[in-house]
Structure 1
Amino acid sequence: MKLEVSLFRFDYKSDYIPFYKKYFIKVENEKTLLDLLNTMNEEDEFFYDKNEDSQVVLNNVVIDCSTTLEEIYNNFSSELTIEPLSKRRSMTDLIINDDDFYEKLEILDNFLDEEDKAYYKSLKKYYYASNTLNFEKNYIGDSVLLIADYIIDKKPQLKNDILKVIKKHPVGIQYHTSLKNRVFNLDENIETKILKLKEELNFFKKEEEQNFKINKTTNFSLEKVTSVTNNIKNSFCDFNISYYGENHHFIKSYLEKLNCKIVDLESKQLDLNKSSFHVNNKLTFKIAGEVIQEAFDKGSDFLVVNDINDFYILDYNRKELKKQIKREIDLPIIHLQELNLLVEGNVDEVSNYFKKHSINPGLI
């Protein structure tokens, strides 16, 4: 097995920005990610936690250093980028200042014993994996929410008091964004525990009960596309097309049939916090703004989604997005069903849909 690794390097004492050092590794005796780091360190010394219980960010996903290289190769291929848990808090290479993680524990200090504090240390990866921290540095932290669930389970008599503390936090659980796709091999129970707390505090509402249309109220009757068409009548070879959504893998497989240039977004699977939109739409618009801004800056002609609520958020709330990103971006958003109609030559039918958009993609 041969690996091409880009390693994050930074020294807060002397560097203004980080750089990435390339390593070309032929795996021989290395079994785990930590073994790989040890081998790289022998070639050129750098700072990292030499503990198997530690974590790093690998290709934008938080991962345990005990993970096998075989599993990494099967899930990430041979080109790897290794970064610290938090680039913003990097001190030297992969070592970070984690004071903020421990400071957040003070929120529940009155309810903790020494065993609880020891358990909290094991939740560090969930704290730094949260995308919310990239938008709200004062976020209560997923680690705090998880230790809250842990204490409630252990000491049920404290439940109401703990819930009051969480609900009172100004940047609390209503700012939680999903850890799915952000932690490698995420235990589903992690999200379940946090969503249960959200429901307890009335910060959770199902998507079908939400109103995602702030600036425009027209309804659509578009359905998710579930199969790739073979009836391709129009060429898209001159188009740069980006895509977003939970089912982004399917959208990409569809676009690959069109002979277009596919624009891959780092933000293509960011959670929009739709379950708390009714109490905190500001965060949704911040994240959606990040998506549409990246698509525009990378030269996309339009952005494709396959979920009607993603469409509403990105296209029907242009004024709200502008407030958050301080830019007006007139990038068309197209639902995959509309693109499918274009692909199959149903121009008149799709034109009627386009008239309902905030930004009419009619020129396509």
Structure 2
Amino acid sequence: MSDTRKVTIKAFRFNAETDYLPYYKQYEMEVGKDELILDLLNRIKWEHDGSFSYRRSCRHGICGACAIKVNGRATLACKQNAMELLDLFDNELVFEPSSKKRAVKDMIIDKKDFWDKHAAVQPYVVADIDPHPEHETKQSIEEFNKFLDSDLCIQCGACHYSCPALEANPDYLGPAALNAAYRFTVDTRDNAGKERLELTAEPGVGVWDCVKCFECAEACPKEINPIEKITKLHNMQFEQGVAKSNVATRHAEGFVRSIKKHGFLDEADIVVYSEGYLGMYKHLKTAMKMMKAGKIHWNDGLPWVDNVPKSKNLDEIQKLIEISQTNKL
């Protein structure tokens, strides 16, 4: 098997100062088995077009500067082997910036929205510290382990610009900022946890606007799972009395209520519980489709009708919920 492969690369080109519209330019080269995507970016610049622009710095997967998209997939260029992607995409690679609508020059984007949202959650320890402390601030292993992998974030923005919720709602903080909010809220040295939780509880901004698509976890080059931290922020809002009654929080309560009652999910009851009978009418088209598929019945939403089957292990399920539930809804 050959150690090299002839490759066609289509690179997104755009200069905000001179171009009205972006375009794609094609390059052909022989790619070796050990070359990274960053090597190919370098070769485009060094061998084909010196005006080609991108960010790079550490080359060790630490700084996050070289994040781009390759064939629509979030990629840290200094970490990703080119041959692995060529096996997936049949010898043709498309290089694009992490966010095309934020492109400044070729692969370089304006990350202002990312940094603004990151700064909004106060991603640092907030505490009154003696300027001349006599001893260090200690943490137990158990307290340190609560960080999970949230401290591994390199602020590359891969998850942020892969998030469909943020694409649809520019006010949403996004997975990277929420990961940082979790990391510093659980830090025992910090005094701004409640303030962060209140921010992450805001409708349209915080954790309740996450659609649980797991795109952020797929995109992360450090294999952090922001969804895990977002879920923990949900729980912390309930535990610390920050969660407010709204459609999102009642939807979460409805899940637990349904499982406790039946051992199964009662979709119709969750809608009624979350949005009330008036709010239920906006879902009529979806309800009709679900009725045709046999998932719900016409009388499922009526309070005096209980036709959802009970799990044969309902007692066990209820005990598990009782043991694991850390807050009262």
TM-score interval, smaller chain: 0.5 to 0.7
Q: Within the alignment, does 1:187 sit opposite 2:187 as a pair?
A: no
Match of 2:20 in 1: 16
Match of 1:50 in 2: 56
Q: Distance in 2 between matches of 1:80 and 1:72?
A: 8
Q: CA separation of 1:194/1:134 partners in 2, compared to 1, >3 Å: closer, same or farther?
A: same
Q: CA separation of 1:192/1:13 partners in 2, compared to 1, >3 Å: closer, same or farther?
A: same
Q: Distance in 1 between matches of 2:153 and 2:221?
A: 20
Report if aligned partners of 1:129, 1:179 keep a CA contact under 8 Å in 2. no
Once the two structures are TM-superposed, the CA of residue 121 in structure 1 deviates from its matched residue by 4.8
SS in 2 for 1:11: coil
The superposition leaves residues 285-305 of structure 1 with CA deviations (integer Å, 9 ceiling, x where unpaired) of: xxxxxxxxxxxxxxxxxxxxx
Once the two structures are TM-superposed, the CA of residue 44 in structure 1 deviates from its matched residue by 1.5
Q: 1:76 aligns with which of 68, 89, 95?
A: 89
Q: CA separation of 1:77/1:186 partners in 2, compared to 1, >3 Å: closer, same or farther?
A: farther
Once the two structures are TM-superposed, the CA of residue 24 in structure 1 deviates from its matched residue by 1.8
Match of 1:7 in 2: 11
The superposition leaves residues 168-224 of structure 1 with CA deviations (integer Å, 9 ceiling, x where unpaired) of: 36422222243438616673633222233235446464575444971333343649x
TM-score by length of 1: 0.53
Q: Specify the code of the residue in structure 1 equivalent to 2:49.
A: D
Structure 1: stretches of 5+ with no match in the other structure: 224-307, 310-364
SS in 1 for 2:100: coil
Q: Distance in 1 between matches of 2:35 and 2:186?
A: 37
Q: Distance in 1 between matches of 2:74 and 2:187?
A: 28
Q: 2:283 aligns with which of 211, 214, 236?
A: 214
Q: 1:62 aligns with which of 74, 87, 99?
A: 74
Q: Within the alignment, does 1:165 sit opposite 2:202 as a pair?
A: no
Q: Distance in 2 between matches of 1:96 and 1:187?
A: 23
Q: Specify the code of the residue in structure 2 equivalent to 1:19.
A: Y
The superposition leaves residues 110-167 of structure 1 with CA deviations (integer Å, 9 ceiling, x where unpaired) of: 8546xx9x97653522222212232222221211100011112323765433211211
Q: CA separation of 1:131/1:57 partners in 2, compared to 1, >3 Å: closer, same or farther?
A: same
Structure 2: stretches of 5+ with no match in the other structure: 127-146, 238-247, 256-264, 272-279, 297-329
SS in 1 for 2:8: strand
The number of residue pairs the alignment matches comes to 223
Of the two, which has the highest radius of gyration?
Answer: 2
Query: For residues 289-308 of structure 1, what are the structure 2 equivalents within 5 Å?
Result: none
Q: Distance in 2 between matches of 1:62 and 1:143?
A: 14
Q: Distance in 2 between matches of 1:190 and 1:110?
A: 15
For the aligned residue pairs, the C-alpha RMSD in angstroms reads 3.4
Q: CA separation of 1:25/1:198 partners in 2, compared to 1, >3 Å: closer, same or farther?
A: farther
Percent identity over paired residues: 23
Q: CA separation of 1:27/1:60 partners in 2, compared to 1, >3 Å: closer, same or farther?
A: same
SS in 2 for 1:124: coil
Q: Distance in 2 between matches of 1:196 and 1:93?
A: 37
TM-score by length of 2: 0.58
Q: Distance in 1 between matches of 2:220 and 2:180?
A: 20
Match of 2:107 in 1: 94
Moved more, 126-135 or 150-159: 150-159
